[in-house]
Amino acid sequence: MFKSYRKLLSTVTVVALASVSAMAAGDASRTYANGKKVIDGGMTYPVKKGLTASYHVNTQKAYKDVKFGRAATPNEIKAWDIDVMYDGTGLPEGEGSVEMGDEIYEAKCASCHFDFGAGGAGYPALQQGNAYEMQKTLKLQRLHPDDDGPKRNFGSYWPYASTLFWYIKTGMPHPAPMSLSNDETYALVAYILSINEIKIDGEELDDDFVLNKKNFLKIVMPNKDGFIPKIEGKDGLENVRKFYDNPKNFGGNKERCMKDCFDGEPKVARIQGVGISDYNPPISEKKEKPAKKASSDSNEAKATYEASCAVCHGTDAMGAPVVGDKQAWAAVLKKGIDKVYMNGIKGINGMPPKGGTSLDDDKFKAVVDYMVKTSK
């Protein structure tokens, strides 16, 4: 349920549209023309007398003489086909070391994902400790207020590292996607594997470890078998059909239905014994709003910068002056601080007015002041 594959994806898209009509019609037919069941238990309808079920179909051949461009060339298809599959299909040639990945991460990734992939300021953590230990937490449930919950991140949750390679290569870094080379991508994957303490073929990844196409295929993620149904391999679609053909596999009762699905009233499960009654200090019964906590203007400006501005001003990939770069900000300030304020408020070059925020002028100027002060 986590991974996407070309053949399966195209099937699911069609089926998802058909299944609603199928259930509403009483699930009378759940098969394709070839006799195979659609994978989610929906149905398809043949076209009869210009209708497919209760919907009219345009059967006119009005477009028979229209030219719709040309067929894509093999090279064009190859250029578009950039995904990386779980079995290694799509992995390019290249290599990169953990040490190289560490350097690239510090330069291009740490501004969002923080040191060692710890996450923060709204950006996800890439690791939360040893992945093999964190994978064990996925079965935890927070039944009591102080209970630990599952820790889901790349190392503990993702079943295949191929998704990480593809995502970094095509979508990262956020301000400049598709800017990394294959070697840089291999290096970043190697670094992220290392901070998750994931082994490859029993080997721990030290700084000198070099990841390439050959040893990439030996990566076995801790949660490889944590998803159902199994959709890998030549029997993937049939496995999915069998899984969804039994409603009990996904919480159903009897057959798929839209009404009268249960005998009597459905039972609602409620979590018991987790309420807190002994509060210390006691809960206030006052209805007025609590007094607004005094907050530091500089702390508020810093929080706003990290949430809304760092994505562009935390890296030189966007052409914006990087916070902390004294020379860059010295050049900007030659215009005078009032001009800097005005450019920011009205927008300049690729920067939208107020960086796309809804701050009032005074709060926006406070953020600019924070950026200037941090860059002196």
User: In this predicted model, what pLDDT tens digit does every residue of 108-139 receive, in sequence order?
Assistant: 999 889 999 998 878 889 999 999 999 999 99
Task: Tell me what pLDDT residue 313 has.
Answer: 84
Q: Which of 179, 213, 67, 194 is closest to 126 using CA atoms?
A: 194
CA distance 151 to 130: 11
Same-domain status, 110 and 186: yes
Residue 114 lies in a domain: yes
Q: What residues of the chain score a pLDDT lower than 70?
A: 1-34, 39-44, 61-66, 251-262, 265-278, 290-298, 317-318
- Asked if residue 122 and residue 201 are part of one domain, the reply reads yes
Let me know whether 39 and 137 are in one domain. no
Whether 170 maps to a domain, the answer reads yes
Biggest alpha carbon–alpha carbon distance for the chain = 80
355 with 344: CB under 8 angstroms? yes
> Residue 69: what pLDDT?
81
Q: What pLDDT score was predicted for residue 106? A: 93
204: in domain: yes
Region of residue 41 (phi > 0: left; psi between -120 and 50: alpha; otherwise: beta): left
Side chain identity, residue 167: Y
Say whether both 102 and 180 belong to one domain: yes
Number of domain units in the chain: 3
The answer to the question of residue 221 being in a domain is no
> Residue 44's pLDDT is what?
65
Same-domain status, 205 and 250: no
Structure tokens that stand for 60 in this block: 């006119």
* HEC-encoded secondary structure of 195-250: HCCCCECCECCCCCCEEEHHHHCCECCCCCCCCCCCCCCCCHHHHHHHHHCCHHHH
Predicted local confidence at residue 6, as pLDDT: 37
Are 45 and 1 in the same domain? Answer: yes
Residue 251 sits in which domain range?
Answer: 1-71+240-260
Q: Are residues 64 and 140 in the same domain?
A: no
- 284 falls within a domain: no
- Within a domain: 26: yes
CATH number for position 364: 1.10.760.10
Q: How many CB atoms lie within 10 A of CB 87?
A: 12
Predicted pLDDT at 160: 95
Domain match, 120 and 29 both: no
Distance from C-alpha of 19 to C-alpha of 17, rounded to nearest angstrom? 6
User: Which residues are paired to 286 by β-bridges?
Assistant: none
Cα separation, 243 vs 235, in Å, equals 12
Cα distances (angstroms) measured from residue 66 to each of 60, 70, 72, 212: 13, 12, 17, 48
Q: Is residue 362 part of a domain?
A: yes
Q: Is the domain of 121 the same as that of 190? A: yes
Residue in the block written with tokens 């907050």:
295
Does residue 180 sit within a domain? yes
